[in-house]
């Protein structure tokens, strides 16, 4: 389906090794290639420690690769950029600002005048159904509301790319399901590329155009599964189950091969 | 209802017991050695009627404000800077750690030699008392700012001045406020000490001067006033701190 399309984001043998102060090195992500296309919803799944955050931080420009390169629109990513906003699991809201002021922050950074920023911010809050909470501080909001504020803050600056690192992992199941639907709605309305990290296989199948299967020790991109289901998807359908099985299978293979590699360390399939 | 009893009645009972024990103890001594509660009340009204009291209180307050504000103006900017500059903090840390345990009162001989008797030595001592708590809490507050705030700011392309004013200062503010609270207490304690040693006016001087006339009732009256004003100052800054913590969503265990 991606034939002939120019990638929006590409990993070109990008690798990330961390060096501890004692001089030890630890490769969080081994050299790999990956193309993400414009407007695509790409999920990264894998057990913890497989380099999901490392990969998304490289794309977002919070980290620099120690080998190879990560390109966006053909240019190496050197810095975070306001056109590509990261949503964190722990929201990253400023507790002393109201929801509205938090959403206005990104706009004020751009030098947009207060009145205009306020108008845009209110519209963004409305798009995540938080109009009534505009004047509240983060500590007065539930986890789901906080993540909506963070989402509104990102959407207010109309980014081309949204990076999300396990954004719903701390939320209860009902809130998580609702936010997944809201995210798909937003994505339908805007031309936006979404990179979404999760360790929840169902979430990945429900959201992603493609799901990147990652493996640990060392962290790497192992496989890519294209989810050929129309939105909105139905978790209870047989076709959904098909992908569920496919992903489980992929992870079993990953773990089996890992077990073969390392006799010393018992790797358990903890999904 | 029960809450109200605990809040008002119990402290009132304790206070009554305290006064009774005081009265009982004082009855064993001549009043010039250990005055009774009533004697102290009379001494306070004597001070009020004489009219010099307001001058002493206001001069103490002026000294406190001058010293405290200069400590705030020096310690906060320095603390913000050191909190952001790790090598600078490393470099300056031994000096701070060496100076900090020296009681501000130990500076008194030098202060009098340098500045003479009057306002300046007292102000200097209060300054020393307030400076370090503010400096250290500011440094700690800045260092405790979660990295995610900087990440978000960087992501949205915030300029350094905006990060400083809109993120760093407000994020560190509750911690700084806590230092300001502690520093006000130590400043007040050392105001009295400073005025006892190196001044010829103010509440500390009032106490030391009463001793020169062997007026124990006036000494205790002065001590009582120092305690009362200290309590009021503390109440004031606690209210301010509460307000800020509420705004910031920090819940304290009190209340
Ligand atoms: N800043 C860092 N310094 C050293 N090691 C790190 C750092 N960040 C991540 N790692 C290591 O890299 C590996 C991958 O981490 P991460 O990308 O956070 O995994 P995931 O998000 O999939 O759980 C882990 O083993 C982790 O300990
Ligand atoms: Mg992670």
Q: What is the CATH number of the domain that holds A238?
A: 3.40.50.300
Kindly report the backbone phi and psi dihedral angles of residue B229, in degrees, each rounded to the nearest multiple of 5, phi listed first.
Answer: -65, -40
Can you tell me the distance from the alpha carbon of B200 to that of B213, in angstroms, rounded to the nearest whole number? 15
Query: Looking at residue A263, what is its pLDDT?
Result: 43
- The CA-atom distances, in angstroms, between B173 and each of A104, B130, B151 are 21, 17, 19
Which ligand number lies closest to the CA of residue A46? 1
Backbone angles phi, psi at A166, to 5 degrees: 45, 55
Domains of chain B: 40-248 (1.10.3720.10)
CB contact under 8 A, B152 and A92: yes
Q: What is the pLDDT along chain A (271 residues), one digit of tens a residue?
A: 555 688 999 999 999 999 998 989 999 999 999 999 999 999 999 999 999 999 999 999 999 999 999 999 999 999 999 999 999 999 999 999 999 999 999 999 999 999 999 999 999 999 999 999 999 999 999 999 999 999 999 999 999 999 999 999 999 999 999 999 999 999 999 889 999 999 999 999 999 999 999 999 899 999 999 999 999 999 999 999 999 999 998 887 666 665 555 444 444 443 4
- For residue A212 and ligand 1, the question of a CB distance below 6 A is answered with no
Closest CA to B192 of B116, B110, B104, B253: B104
Q: Same domain for A54 and A175?
A: yes
Q: What is the mean pLDDT of residues B91-119?
A: 91
Q: Which residues of chain B lie closer than 8 angstroms to A80, CB-CB?
A: 151, 154-155
| CB within 8 Å: B155 and A60 | yes
H-helix or E-strand spanning residue A221: strand A220-226
- Are residue A224 and residue A125 in the same domain, yes or no? no
Of residues B173, B203, B175, the one with CA closest to residue B189: B203
Please check whether residues A145 and A167 belong to one and the same domain.
no
Query: Residue B7: what pLDDT?
Result: 85
> Do residue A220 and residue A252 come from a single domain?
yes
> Are residues A148 and A17 part of one domain?
no
Instruction: Tell me whether residues B157 and A82 touch, CB distance under 8 A.
Output: yes
The parent domain of residue A51 ranges over: 9-83+159-265
A270, part of any domain: no
Among B153, B158, B248, whose Cβ lies nearest the Cβ of A95? B248
**Under a CB-based contact definition with an 8 Å cutoff, are residues B229 and B206 in contact?**
no
Q: What is the distance between the alpha carbons of residues A236 and A240, in angstroms, rounded to a whole number? A: 7
Confidence of residue B117 (pLDDT cuts 50, 70, 90): confident
pLDDT at A8: 96
Mean pLDDT value of segment B234-240? 93
Q: Quickly state the pLDDT bin for B199 (edges 50, 70, 90).
A: confident
Least confident of A264-268, B28-32, B174-178: A264-268
DSSP for B199-239, please give it.
Answer: -SSSHHHHHHHHHHTT-HHHHHHHHHHHHHHHHHHHHHHHH
Residues A66 and A139 in one domain: no
Which pLDDT tens digit goes with each residue over B49-85?
Answer: 988 899 999 999 999 999 999 999 999 999 999 999 9
The ligand 1 atom nearest the CA atom of A52: 22
Q: Which of B134, B131, B170 is nearest to B153 (CA)?
A: B170
Q: pLDDT at residue B252 above 80?
A: no
Segment B87-102, tens digit of pLDDT: 999 999 999 999 999 9
* Percentage of the residues of chain B whose pLDDT score is greater than 70: 97
Q: Indicate whether A136 and A230 sit together in one domain.
A: no
- Whether ligand 1 lies within 6 angstroms of the CB of A19 is answered as no
Complex ipTM value? 0.90
Which residue's CA is the nearest one to ligand 1's atom 6?
A18
Share of residues in chain B with pLDDT > 90 (%):
77
- Which residues, 6+ apart, have CB-to-CB distance to A268 below 8 Å? A255
Query: How many other C-beta atoms can be found within 10 angstroms of the C-beta atom of residue A107?
Result: 23
Q: Is residue A246 part of a domain?
A: yes
% of residues, chain A, pLDDT over 70: 92
Q: Give the C-alpha separation, A46 to A251, whole Å.
A: 8
- Decide if pLDDT at B230 tops 80: yes
Please state, in angstroms and rounded to a whole number, the distance separating the CA atoms of residues A196 and A207: 9
Q: Which of A131, A158, A185 is at the close of a domain?
A: A158
Contact criterion met (CB below 8 Å) for B193 and B125: yes
Same domain assignment for residues A110 and A169: no
Ligand 1, residue A165: give the atom nearest the CA.
Answer: 21
CA distances from A35 to A38, A40, A99, A184 (A): 10, 10, 35, 21
pLDDT over 50 (residue B4): yes
In a domain, A2, yes or no: no
In a domain, A101, yes or no: yes
Binding site membership of A127 for ligand 1 (Cβ less than 6 Å): no
- A108: which chain B residues are within 8 Å (Cβ-Cβ)? 162, 166
Specify whether A104 is located in the same domain as A220. no
Residues on chain A touching B162 (C-beta within 8 angstroms): 108-109
Report the first-to-last Cα separation within chain B, whole angstroms. 16
pLDDT at B139 exceeding the cut of 50? yes
For ligand 1, say whether the CB of A52 is within 6 Å of any of its atoms: yes
SS3 A47: coil
Q: Closest approach of chain A CAs to the CA of B165, in angstroms?
A: 12
Query: Are A169 and A260 found together in one domain?
Result: yes
A204 lines ligand 1 (CB under 6 A): no
Please count the helices (runs of H) and the strands (runs of E) in chain B. Answer: 12, 0
Inside any domain, residue A186: yes
Q: Is the bond leading into A218 cis (omega within 30 degrees of zero)? A: yes
Distance, CA of B253 to chain centre: 22
Q: Kindly give the number of the ligand 1 atom that is closest to the alpha carbon of A219.
A: 14
Q: How many domains does chain A have?
A: 2
- Is the pLDDT at B13 greater than 90, yes or no? yes
């Amino acid at each position: 389906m991606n034939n002939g399309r120019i990638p929006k984001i590409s990993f070109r043998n990008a690798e990330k090794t961390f060096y501890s102060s004692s001089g030890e090195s630890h490769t969080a992500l081994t050299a790999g290639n990956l193309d993400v296309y414009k407007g695509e919803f790409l999920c990264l799944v894998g057990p913890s420690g497989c380099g999901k955050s490392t990969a998304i931080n490289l794309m977002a420009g919070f980290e620099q690769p120690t080998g190879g390169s990560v390109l966006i629109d053909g240019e190496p990513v050197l810095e975070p950029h306001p056109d590509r906003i990261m949503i964190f699991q722990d929201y990253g809201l400023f507790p002393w600002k109201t929801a509205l002021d938090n959403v206005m922050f990104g706009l004020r950074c751009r030098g947009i005048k207060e009145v205009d920023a306020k108008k845009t911010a209110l519209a963004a809050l409305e798009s995540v159904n938080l109009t009534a909470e505009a004047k509240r501080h983060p500590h007065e909001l539930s986890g789901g509301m906080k993540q909506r504020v963070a989402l509104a803050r990102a959407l207010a600056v109309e980014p081309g790319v949204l990076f999300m690192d396990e954004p719903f992992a701390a939320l209860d199941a009902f809130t998580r399901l609702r936010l997944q639907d809201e995210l798909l709605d937003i994505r339908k309305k805007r031309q936006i590329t979404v990179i979404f990290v999760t360790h929840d296989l169902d979430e990945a199948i429900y959201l992603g155009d493609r799901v990147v299967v990652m493996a640990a020790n060392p962290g790497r991109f192992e496989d890519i599964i294209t989810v050929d289901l129309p939105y909105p998807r139905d978790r209870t359908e047989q076709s959904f189950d098909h992908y569920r099985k496919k992903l489980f299978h992929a992870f079993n293979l990953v773990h089996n091969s890992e077990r073969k590699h390392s006799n010393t360390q018992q790797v358990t399939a903890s999904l | 209802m029960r809450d109200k009893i605990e809040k008002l009645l119990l402290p009132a009972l304790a206070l009554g017991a305290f006064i009774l024990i005081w009265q009982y103890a004082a009855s064993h001594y001549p009043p010039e050695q250990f005055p009774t509660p009533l004697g102290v009340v009379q001494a306070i009204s004597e001070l009020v009627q004489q009219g010099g009291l307001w001058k002493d209180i206001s001069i103490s307050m002026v000294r406190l404000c001058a010293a405290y504000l200069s400590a705030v103006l020096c310690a906060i900017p320095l603390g913000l800077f050191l909190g952001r500059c790790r090598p600078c903090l490393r470099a300056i840390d031994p000096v701070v750690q060496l100076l900090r345990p020296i009681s501000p009162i130990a500076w008194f001989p030098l202060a009098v030699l340098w500045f003479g008797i009057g306002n300046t030595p007292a102000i200097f001592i209060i300054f020393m008392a307030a400076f370090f708590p503010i400096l250290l809490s500011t440094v700690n507050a800045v260092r405790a700012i979660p990295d995610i705030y900087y990440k978000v700011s960087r992501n949205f392309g915030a300029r350094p001045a905006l990060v400083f004013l809109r993120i760093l200062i407000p994020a560190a503010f509750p911690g700084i406020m806590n230092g300001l609270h502690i520093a006000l207490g130590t400043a007040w304690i050392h105001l009295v000490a400073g005025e006892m040693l190196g001044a010829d006016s103010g509440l500390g001087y009032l106490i030391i001067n009463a001793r020169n006339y062997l007026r124990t009732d006036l000494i205790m009256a002065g001590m009582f006033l120092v305690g009362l004003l200290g309590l009021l100052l503390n109440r004031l800054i606690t209210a301010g701190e509460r307000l800020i913590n509420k705004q910031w969503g920090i819940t304290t265990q009190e209340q």
